[in-house]
Structure 1
Amino acid sequence: MDVIPGAWRRTAAGAGLLSAAGEVAPTIFAEMSAAAVRTGAINLGQGFPDEDGPAAVLEAAREAIAAGANQYPPGRGIPDLLEAISAHQRRFYRLVVDPATEVLVTAGATEALTATLLALIDSPDDEVVVFEPYYDSYAAAVALAGARLRTVPLRAPGFQPDLGELADAVTDRTRIILVNDPHNPTGAVFGDEVQREIVRLAERHDAIIVTDEVYEHLSFASPHIPLATLPGAAERTLTISSAGKTFSTTGWKIGWVHGPAALITAVLTVKQYLTYVNGSPFQPAIALGLRLPDAVFADAASALRAKHALLGEALRTAGFEVHAPQGGYFTVADATALGGADAAAFCRTLPERAGVVAIPISAFVSAARRDDYAGLVRFAACKRVDVLEEAARRLAGLRGA
């Protein structure tokens, strides 16, 4: 008996979730993390920090558990967190968001994104435009929603989209333009011209803008500017973010989405059948975190910027060509000069050669474009300084290897 219905089997296979034998296909992330464990290599592949976030946020979670906040919270999220998210958007971006009708707490940004796509895709003819390379869950979520994925390439060195290619990709079939800014994996921050063109095309083709802004407080080159703040954007934009990256609490999975009330209601309709609710004692802790002084947010960005500088110098010393990020957790480097023209093969040998794990950028692109990113490798800078210093020492040996 086929326990996976045919339509779902085709969808999963199309998203790269199943092997040819119908088994769950392991990701490059799982493969490289296993290599780190097997070899004792430093894992700069997966994007999670190895330090805790603000002590006040952690203590608030402990207090909430002790106070009995251990059962289901309200479906939209606890009122205090909804208020805190609204106040945060007003404080940092002058966005006015109704906490009662325009905010929804989710199990991280990934659930917010998946629920949004499932809620808003109407037809198999609907298209979702994304910027490539893209966070790997995007293609899977688009496939599960039954839509078509259209990609716009981001090319080194600046990883900014060509506006002509963007205009070609957005058509009357476009249901959603999905924007990740600051961008994973490239570390790019989109410029004003790109942002304005995204909004113009969305208006012209009556598309919805969905933004993934989880690195909003980790932008180095300039303050983060949400697309929803641009003229004409708020009424057609769903803004997604989470606490994991800002407060180094990736395991808590507290995210949110805000936007027009009708769209949020549609997302809630789907979300209630996914996780229903989540993270009851973590929600008041994140509410507290979002109200912390500005210095806490600025210091987090400053500390990560310094880590990127340390990692970037180590990679240059080792012989990589480094594309310095403008935001986020990751530094992208070209390994071609080190024999890494095939970055996937290079990453598979790197744990044994240098005792460091990284991820090839080809893991974030469609098969048709892998050659365009063949030599590029992603390294995570969101680790302790002593860990990055040890990684630098190990990587230095590549020049003479």
Structure 2
Amino acid sequence: MMEQTKTYLSKTVDQLKPSGIRRFFDLAAGMEGVISLGVGEPDFVTSWSVREAAILSLEQGYTSYTANAGLLELREEISQYMYKYFGVQYSPKTEIIVTVGGSQALDISLRAIIDPGDEVIVVEPSFVSYAPLVTLAGGTPIHVQSLKENDFKIMPFQIEAAISDRTKAIMICSPNNPTGTMLSKSDLEEIGRIAEKYDLLIISDEIYAELSYDEEFTSMAAIPEMRKRTLLISGFSKGFAMTGWRLGFVCAPEELSAAMLKIHQYTMMCAPTMAQYAAIEALRNGRNDVEEMKKSYRRRRNYFVQSLNEIGLDCHIPGGAFYAFPSIESTGLTSEQFAEQLLIKEKVAVVPGNVFGESGEGHVRCSYASSMEHLQEAIKRIKRFLNSL
């Protein structure tokens, strides 16, 4: 009689699917001459003054732990920055936590509010970590699909239709990854009314707040009555080109912040000290660099989206972030087939839309955070690929 092999894995973790983005990165990594439109990070190097601040902190020997919530000096700068640019005010002592990237901020936000059986509405297409983080926190993600015909802008009635007596929160991202769609102030007001009506929290991922192109960005926490219901996630990765520094933050009312801080204390202690000193410099003196990057992204967006439409891939104009989300339905290929064949035949890496949820099928995510030369060459190769079909 064969002895049954014992598994030590958590059933929850064992059933989680690996990131769909990572598979295509791995495929592209072994090929020469690939133009990657898959990576979701700026192609700019972190500003020199920010790097210099980190170096100086090391030279001065600032290598110890900081306070669990982060350097008070940094939290004060975050507080002033958020008020100056987005009109939201948080106490640096009790309502701001500095985290290891926006990802950790999302993680502790969900773990602080979810009990087993709670549901969190996740607006799709969505970043690949949202639903898994809800699951890891013991909750159930409820997927609500935004539609291509609405330029992937979620309709409030869709959210309301998904609410049950187990719903705890609504998770949104604006500007959105992967679609680049940005919610207007009136859109946020409508979602806010639903949150009030059903007494729900809102987890608002605003990591791309600095990168809005056609209208002024509005924070969910700036909507009347929404500050008390909002866990605002942001960070330095996208707007300040600091992805590798792994520094984010979460702003929330004191009761919620205190709960998140307990998790942060036990799992992370504090964010990297030298990165925090770098972030202080970024907030004080880095805004001009942010504006220059934003102008460059806007030019690239205009070129790239127009070119996609001209070669036959229908694509809405993204209002923010640095992603285009063209439809590839006209090719008759699935998202994964399109991405694989484009990579193999023409050495252009894009991300299949289905990894961002079912509503992403029939699309691919293309990052235009790449040089204009690379974008122009990528368009040539994509056009050649389409003609070959």
Shorter-chain TM-score range: over 0.9
Aligned to 2:122, the other structure's residue is in SS state strand
Aligned to 2:49, the other structure's residue is in SS state helix
Aligned to 2:121, the other structure's residue is in SS state strand
The more displaced of 248-257 and 67-76 is: 67-76
Conserved? CA contact 2:237–2:243, under 8 Å: yes
Conserved? CA contact 1:39–1:351, under 8 Å: no
The more displaced of 192-201 and 81-90 is: 192-201
Q: Which of 228, 231, 241 is 1:235 aligned to?
A: 228
Work out the number of aligned pairs and report it: 382
CA distance, structure 2, for counterparts of residue 207 and residue 218 of structure 1: 28
Q: Residue 22 of structure 1 corresponds to which residue in structure 2? A: none
* 1:263 has 2:250 as partner: no
Conserved? CA contact 2:195–2:201, under 8 Å: yes
Q: 1:243-322 residue pairs with structure 2 within 5 A?
A: 243-292=236-285, 294-322=287-315
Q: Which of 339, 343, 354 is 1:351 aligned to?
A: 343
Q: Residue 37 of structure 1 corresponds to which residue in structure 2? A: 29
- Structure 1 unaligned runs (5+)? 17-24
CA distance, structure 2, for counterparts of residue 14 and residue 189 of structure 1: 32
CA distance, structure 1, for counterparts of residue 185 and residue 42 of structure 2: 30
Q: 1:65-84 residue pairs with structure 2 within 5 A?
A: 65-84=58-77
Q: Residue 383 of structure 1 corresponds to which residue in structure 2? A: 370
Aligned to 1:100, the other structure's residue is in SS state coil
Q: Residue 39 of structure 2 corresponds to which residue in structure 1? A: 46
CA distance, structure 1, for counterparts of residue 138 and residue 311 of structure 2: 44
* 1:4 has 2:5 as partner: no
Aligned to 1:353, the other structure's residue is in SS state helix
Conserved? CA contact 1:171–1:205, under 8 Å: no
Q: Residue 338 of structure 1 corresponds to which residue in structure 2? A: 331
CA distance, structure 2, for counterparts of residue 77 and residue 191 of structure 1: 32
CA distance, structure 1, for counterparts of residue 376 and residue 8 of structure 2: 47
* 1:97 has 2:90 as partner: yes
C-alpha deviation, 1:117, in angstroms: 0.8
CA distance, structure 2, for counterparts of residue 231 and residue 172 of structure 1: 25
C-alpha deviation, 1:317, in angstroms: 4.1
* 1:137 has 2:129 as partner: yes
**Over residues 100-148 of structure 1, what are the superposed CA-to-partner deviations in whole Å (9 max), with x where a residue is unaligned?**
11100000111000111111112x2211011011111111110011111
CA distance, structure 2, for counterparts of residue 69 and residue 382 of structure 1: 33
CA distance, structure 2, for counterparts of residue 355 and residue 228 of structure 1: 42
Conserved? CA contact 2:147–2:153, under 8 Å: yes
Aligned to 1:378, the other structure's residue is in SS state strand
The more displaced of 290-299 and 125-134 is: 290-299
Q: 1:87-236 residue pairs with structure 2 within 5 A?
A: 87-122=80-115, 124-157=116-149, 158-236=151-229
Output the aligned Cα RMSD: 1.8
Q: Residue 353 of structure 2 corresponds to which residue in structure 1? A: 361
C-alpha deviation, 1:351, in angstroms: 1.1
Conserved? CA contact 1:317–1:396, under 8 Å: no
CA distance, structure 2, for counterparts of residue 313 and residue 398 of structure 1: 18
Conserved? CA contact 1:106–1:112, under 8 Å: yes
Aligned to 2:169, the other structure's residue is in SS state strand
- Structure 2 unaligned runs (5+)? none
C-alpha deviation, 1:241, in angstroms: 0.1
Q: Residue 19 of structure 1 corresponds to which residue in structure 2? A: none
C-alpha deviation, 1:2, in angstroms: 4.2
Q: Which amino acid aligns with 2:384?
A: G
Conserved? CA contact 2:240–2:286, under 8 Å: no
Q: Residue 57 of structure 1 corresponds to which residue in structure 2? A: 50
Percent identity for Structure 1 against Structure 2: 29
C-alpha deviation, 1:293, in angstroms: 6.2
CA distance, structure 2, for counterparts of residue 314 and residue 193 of structure 1: 31
Conserved? CA contact 2:156–2:191, under 8 Å: no
CA distance, structure 2, for counterparts of residue 126 and residue 288 of structure 1: 40
Aligned to 2:146, the other structure's residue is in SS state strand
Q: 1:313 to 1:127 in 2, by over 3 A?
A: same
TM-score by length of 2: 0.93
CA distance, structure 1, for counterparts of residue 229 and residue 360 of structure 2: 33
Q: 1:75 to 1:237 in 2, by over 3 A?
A: same
TM-score by length of 1: 0.90
Q: 1:238 to 1:373 in 2, by over 3 A?
A: closer
Q: Which amino acid aligns with 2:243?
A: T
Q: Residue 395 of structure 1 corresponds to which residue in structure 2? A: 382
Q: Residue 15 of structure 1 corresponds to which residue in structure 2? A: 16
Conserved? CA contact 1:103–1:259, under 8 Å: yes
**Over residues 158-213 of structure 1, what are the superposed CA-to-partner deviations in whole Å (9 max), with x where a residue is unaligned?**
11122222111234322111111111111111133321122112112221111110
Aligned to 1:264, the other structure's residue is in SS state helix
